[in-house]
């Protein structure tokens, strides 16, 4: 691992984490066709820190929403304890917290299938098919009527269905941002709210996964001898992933608002088709 590789991985993480092109699908294809080392095994702490970098970019873009949600979370607990029946309808930020909690629930179900799915989709052929499917999801999302739902009037069912889209995106080749934003649009979300809800709902999952992976990375053998000397190199990648992730979020917000979110479909179709053909040829030649 050197500074150039750290910068490159930071750029890839920042772009693929937020653009609807499936970061896990691209990683699987790179490993299959270019014998790329498995970064999650050889540099576990680095991959954890890269996810932390993109987490920072979400917090920067949506810091006002996050502050409001944290405040309303504790005010909501206080309201439950005090049982103030005259409080009236909860504010939008408090409803947002509730919607995100509901949307996170389907992920707990998919945890039981995660290892089996990753084994099956370690082959480039099914991953390529999922990229093609992602392309169709993105293509048709732009053709949906503009919705008007926000945190004020989105329902629990809306949040649960968008959460199901996030859970399905565990499959490599299915874009998390693409599927959740498209699901939000399908449920009548305002386009800006669909993007905002998609990225904010990723925070609990990313934070939870980061903490678990961080524990595994720190307790790994030879951590101090092999990893600590590389921390300056790792931190460069974190900064790059945060900066690139910030602009990637801005790009997605802009394209979704202009009705051009589906433009990413052509990229997914191109990569999916090329990798599908290459995967079939590889299977036939080396079978």
pLDDT of residue 223: 62
Q: What is the DSSP letter of 230?
A: G
What pLDDT, on the 0 to 100 scale, is given for residue 75? Answer: 87
**Six token digits for residue 184:** 């939000």
What is the structure's pLDDT at 198? 94
How many CA atoms are closer than 13 Å to the CA of 55, on its beta-carbon side? 16
Q: Which residue has the tokens 């304890």?
A: 81
What is the spatial distance between Cα 234 and Cα 243, in angstroms, rounded to a whole number?
15
- Tell me what pLDDT residue 41 has: 58
What is the per-residue pLDDT for 213? 72
- Which tokens belong to 109? 């179900």
Whole-number pLDDT of residue 226:
64
Would you call 35 helix, strand, or coil by DSSP? coil
| Helix ranges restricted to H, 187-230 | 191-218
Question: Tens digit of pLDDT per residue, the chain (287 long)?
Answer: 788 888 988 888 888 889 998 887 887 787 777 766 655 556 667 777 888 888 999 999 999 999 999 999 998 888 778 776 656 678 889 999 999 999 999 988 887 887 777 677 778 899 999 999 999 999 998 888 788 999 999 999 999 999 999 999 888 889 999 999 999 999 999 999 999 999 999 898 888 877 777 777 677 666 666 667 778 888 998 999 999 999 999 999 999 888 888 899 999 999 999 999 998 988 888 76
What pLDDT, on the 0 to 100 scale, is given for residue 221?
67
pLDDT of 35 reads: 65
Show the tokens assigned to 86.
């005259």
C-alpha to C-alpha distance for 71 and 56, rounded to whole angstroms: 19
Q: Are 53 and 14 in contact (CB under 8 A)?
A: yes
Buried b (16+ CB within 10 A) or exposed e, 118-129: eeebeebbbbbb
Handedness of CA 37, 167, 265, 52 (dihedral sign): negative
User: What's the pLDDT score for residue 117?
Assistant: 75
Confidence at residue 113, expressed as pLDDT on a 0 to 100 scale: 80
How far apart CA 239 and CA 79 sit, in angstroms, is: 39
């Amino acid at each position: 691992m050197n500074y150039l590789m750290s910068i490159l991985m930071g750029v890839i993480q920042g772009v693929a984490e937020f653009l609807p092109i499936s970061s896990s699908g691209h990683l699987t294809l790179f490993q299959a066709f270019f014998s790329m080392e498995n970064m999650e095994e050889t540099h576990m702490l680095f991959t954890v820190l890269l996810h932390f970098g993109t987490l920072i970019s979400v917090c920067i873009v949506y810091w006002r929403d996050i502050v409001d949600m944290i405040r309303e979370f504790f005010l909501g607990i206080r309201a439950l304890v005090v049982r103030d029946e005259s409080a009236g309808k909860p504010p939008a930020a408090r409803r947002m917290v509730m919607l995100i909690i509901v949307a996170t629930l389907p992920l707990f179900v998919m945890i039981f299938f995660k290892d089996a799915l990753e084994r099956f989709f370690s082959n480039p052929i099914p991953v390529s098919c999922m990229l093609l499917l992602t392309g169709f999801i993105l293509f048709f999302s732009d053709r949906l009527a503009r919705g008007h739902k926000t945190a004020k009037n989105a329902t629990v069912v809306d949040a649960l269905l968008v959460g199901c889209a996030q859970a399905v995106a565990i499959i490599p080749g299915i874009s998390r941002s693409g599927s959740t934003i498209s699901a939000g649009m399908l449920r009548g979300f305002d386009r800006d709210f669909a993007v905002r809800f998609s990225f904010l709902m990723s925070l609990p999952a990313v934070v939870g996964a980061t903490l678990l992976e961080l524990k595994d990375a720190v307790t790994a053998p030879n951590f101090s001898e092999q990893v600590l000397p590389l921390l300056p190199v790792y931190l460069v990648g974190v900064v790059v992933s945060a900066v690139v992730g910030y602009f990637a979020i801005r790009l997605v917000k802009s394209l979704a608002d202009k009705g051009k979110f589906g433009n990413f479909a052509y990229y997914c179709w191109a990569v999916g088709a090329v990798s599908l053909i290459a995967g079939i040829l590889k299977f036939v030649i080396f079978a």
